[in-house]
Amino acid sequence: MIKTDKFKTNLIAVFLTTELNRENVTKNALISSILRRGSQNMNSQEEISKQMEEMYGASFDCGLDKIGDNQILKFYIEVINDNFLPQNDVNILQNSIEKILDIIFNPYIENEAFKKEYVEQEKNNIRKIIEGKIDNKAKYAMDRCIEEMYKNEPYGLYKFGYIEDLEDINGKDLYEYYKQLIQDCKIDIFISGIVDEKISEFIENNDNIKKLQERDPKYIIPKVELKQKTEQEKVIIDSMEVSQGKLILGLDVSLENPDLRYTALLYNGLLGGSANSKLFQNVREKAHLAYVASSSYIRYKGNVLINCGIDIENYQKALDLIKQQIEEMRQAKFSEDEIENIKQGIIDTIKTIKDEQDTQITYYFSQELSQENVSIDEYIEKIQQVTKEDIVKVANEITVNTIYFLKD
């Protein structure tokens, strides 16, 4: 429970976490889509929408995520808080909890199988998502770089799965797999809003919760890894009909202890994580070699991903200048003022976590998943404690793993 009176709504989120693997990645994506089609008590999307509308316009949504080597099926209901309703009305919070648990744990079944029509329609929808991933060239290039960095490893898998898997999936086999998933996965329920302790008891007494079995959940606890330094970088060049080249560099960040991830966050901010960063200022603004020049830190895999959109003929110039920025980080060519600016930007972002219910839930879910307990105040304190020496030390433990270029 995340108790807050900042909002007029309650947000209920249920996450099913399971290990990413090639055998089941497409099935999990399908299950996420099929469950929203109906439950035993609401046997169609139209009926679910009608029930949401009757709860003062509550909204239901679901999605799919990849965190570390886990695939997460996500379900949400946002509903107005009971405090803002007429006193004689039903308990909307309890009603919405019953609805979301019904959708996830009591799916609509015909003859011990998911409804054939729903399965075929959702297979088609997943196929379109997979085929459509090339439409966003920047994201496609990023996904391809990760795929090459983590070839034959779980994190390299595409979270929506693979078209070649769809053909052999039917409603009966998928339902059998769903039952196994529910028996093995990690289940987390979050509620944000004006709530009290009674709601825990209400959930525990829910019929769908009571029928769940005790489990030792099958998932991977994301941990900061001590990676071996990459001896030889991989270079992957793909060709596609593009007007602008997409250059992605995947860097390995080797950290001796978990607290160094806060240093890695500062490193990323200085390298390419802000408008004042080296990549933005030197590659984009001064050299005019990139339309986009940024970087992002993947905490649970220990990677920094550099993303540049460039003219195709500028590939080598841009690559050399990017590598120069990485080397300058190793040589401590950044100032204390730059560090303070990056720190303030990160701290300002951390402070906004409490401004959105879904952001707050995501923050606490990542804490739960990694079995950590770092409050927002502690998070800010750890950022403030990072020194220039810390950043230089991490910079010298960073190596280029993969260079990916998408050209015409």
Q: Of 210, 226, 257, which residue is a domain's last?
A: 210
- The Cα–Cα gap between 170 and 177 comes to 11
Are 46 and 194 members of one domain? yes
pLDDT at residue number 259: 85
Exposed (0-12), middle (13-18) or buried (19+): which is 312, by Cβ within 10 Å?
A: middle
The count of structural domains within the chain is: 2
Domain extent at residue 173: 2-210
Are 251 and 185 members of one domain? no
Are 244 and 95 members of one domain? no
Q: Of 210, 243, 264, which residue is a domain's last?
A: 210
Contact 272, 306 (CB under 8 A): yes
Are 200 and 245 members of one domain? no
Are 195 and 340 members of one domain? no
DSSP element (H, E) containing 380? helix 376-384
From first to last of the 408 residues of the chain, give the pLDDT tens digit: 999 999 999 999 999 999 999 999 999 999 999 999 999 999 999 999 999 999 999 999 999 999 999 999 999 999 999 888 877 667 899 999 999 999 999 999 999 999 999 999 999 999 999 999 999 999 999 999 999 999 999 999 999 999 999 999 999 999 999 999 999 999 999 999 999 889 999 999 999 999 999 999 999 998 876 677 777 899 999 999 888 999 999 999 988 888 899 999 999 999 999 999 999 999 999 999 999 999 999 998 999 999 999 999 999 999 999 999 999 999 999 999 999 999 999 999 999 999 999 999 999 999 999 998 899 999 999 999 999 999 999 999 999 999 999 999
The number of residues in the chain equals 408
Are 152 and 248 members of one domain? no
Domain-embedded: residue 123: yes
**Structural tokens at position 265:** 């966050």
Domain-embedded: residue 226: no
Domain-embedded: residue 221: no
pLDDT at residue number 224: 72
DSSP for residue 398? E
Look at the block and give the residue holding tokens 């976490």: 17
Are 108 and 178 members of one domain? yes
Domain-embedded: residue 66: yes
CATH number, domain at 42? 3.30.830.10
**Structural tokens at position 138:** 């920047």
Q: What does 26-42 look like in DSSP terms, one character per residue?
A: HHHHHHHHHHTT-BSSS
Domain-embedded: residue 392: yes
Are 38 and 145 members of one domain? yes
Are 170 and 289 members of one domain? no
pTM given for the model: 0.94
Domain-embedded: residue 247: yes
Picking from 57, 33, 164, 46, the residue whose alpha carbon sits closest to that of residue 107 is 33
- The Cα–Cα gap between 140 and 318 comes to 20
CB proximity list for 39: less than 8 A, separation 6 or greater: 48, 102, 103, 106, 107, 108
Q: Of 176, 210, 244, which residue is a domain's last?
A: 210
Q: Output helix, strand, coil percentages for the chain, rounded to the nearest 5.
A: 50, 20, 30
Look at the block and give the residue holding tokens 């005019």: 288
Are 147 and 193 members of one domain? yes
**Structural tokens at position 68:** 């570390």
Number of separate helices (H) and strands (E) present in the chain:
16, 10
- CA atoms 95, 98, 104, 107: torsion sign: negative
Domain-embedded: residue 257: yes
Are 131 and 46 members of one domain? yes
Are 238 and 377 members of one domain? yes
Domain-embedded: residue 224: no
Cα 219 off chain centre by: 15
